[in-house]
Amino acid sequence: MRKIILLGYMGCGKSTIAAALSKSIEIPFVDLDKKIEEKTNLSINAIFEKHGEIYFRKLEHEIFVELLHSSEALIIGLGGGTPCYANNHELLKGEGVVSIYLKASIETLFHRLAVNKSKRPLIADKSEGEMKEFIAIHLFERSFYYNQAHYKVVVDDKTIQQTVVDIMDLLA
Ligand SMILES: Nc1ncnc2c1ncn2[C@@H]1O[C@H](COP(=O)(O)OP(=O)(O)OP(=O)(O)O)[C@@H](O)[C@H]1O
Ligand SMILES: O=C(O)C1=C[C@@H](O)[C@@H](O)[C@H](O)C1
Ligand SMILES: [Mg+2]
């Protein structure tokens, strides 16, 4: 069954938009980060702390593949780094998959992440000054992978509902 995949940098709105899209098109939504937390009974922060990032990336890949193989139609909200590890970016173009990159500017990401970074281990210990530069470089490095998606939706200055409508237009 069809899988609709939302991807993009931390804070671009994958979890928020996927939940709203799920209500509008009545397809269940699974958040990959949440699924990893449920399966391990650990927060993302705790997985990074206890086992390290490589362990997290392996788990992330395995659970992503598991979700892709499930028999039901699903909206899958990826983690910010998911497309950039293992062969995950190739899976964005698999059969029965529609992948959508939620593209946010450095400014948008910075404003959203500045108020909400503690649950994001890659930026949790960065000062505001460090964060802007980190986001700029990291986003540049990751863009190749994000751009593998079938579609790109710019999310800057849009309400959640506007972005949902943009996605529904693509899916129609
Ligand atoms: N128009 C908007 N669209 C989406 N999210 C928005 C919007 N305006 C504000 N936000 C806020 O941006 C924040 C980041 O959104 P969210 O947690 O969904 O991002 P994410 O891409 O899932 O991040 P992560 O990769 O870290 O899980 C949330 O606090 C959300 O409420
Ligand atoms: O951008 C990333 O690499 C990450 C984003 C989050 O969604 C989590 O998957 C984790 O914090 C790593
Ligand atoms: Mg999320």
- 112 assigned ligand-binding residue: no
Q: CB-based contacts of 77: which residues, under 8 Å, 6+ apart?
A: 6, 14, 15, 17, 18, 19, 29, 30, 31, 32, 33
Q: Give domain status of residue 171, yes or no.
A: no
Q: Give domain status of residue 170, yes or no.
A: no
Q: Decide which of 114 and 77 is more confident.
A: 77
Percent of the chain with pLDDT over 70: 99
Give residue 12's domain range: 3-164
> Is 117 near ligand 1, meaning CB less than 6 Å away?
no
- pTM as predicted: 0.95
Q: Give domain status of residue 85, yes or no.
A: yes
- 57 assigned ligand-binding residue: yes
In angstroms, what is the span from residue 67 Cα to ligand 3's centroid? 16
Q: How confident is the model at residue 81 (pLDDT cuts 50, 70, 90)?
A: very high
pLDDT of residue 147: 97
What ipTM did this prediction achieve?
0.95
Q: Give domain status of residue 169, yes or no.
A: no
Q: Measured from the CA of 120, which atom of ligand 1 is nearest?
A: 26
Please give the tally of structural domains in the chain: 1
CATH code at position 89: 3.40.50.300
pLDDT of residue 49: 94
Q: Give domain status of residue 84, yes or no.
A: yes
- Looking up tokens 């930026």 gives 123
pLDDT tens digits, residue range 14-66?
A: 999 999 999 999 999 999 999 999 999 999 999 999 999 999 999 999 999 99
Q: Give domain status of residue 172, yes or no.
A: no
pLDDT tens digits, residue range 127-166?
A: 888 999 999 999 999 999 999 999 999 999 999 999 999 9
Q: What is the Cα Rg of the chain in Å?
A: 15
pLDDT at 1 over 80: no
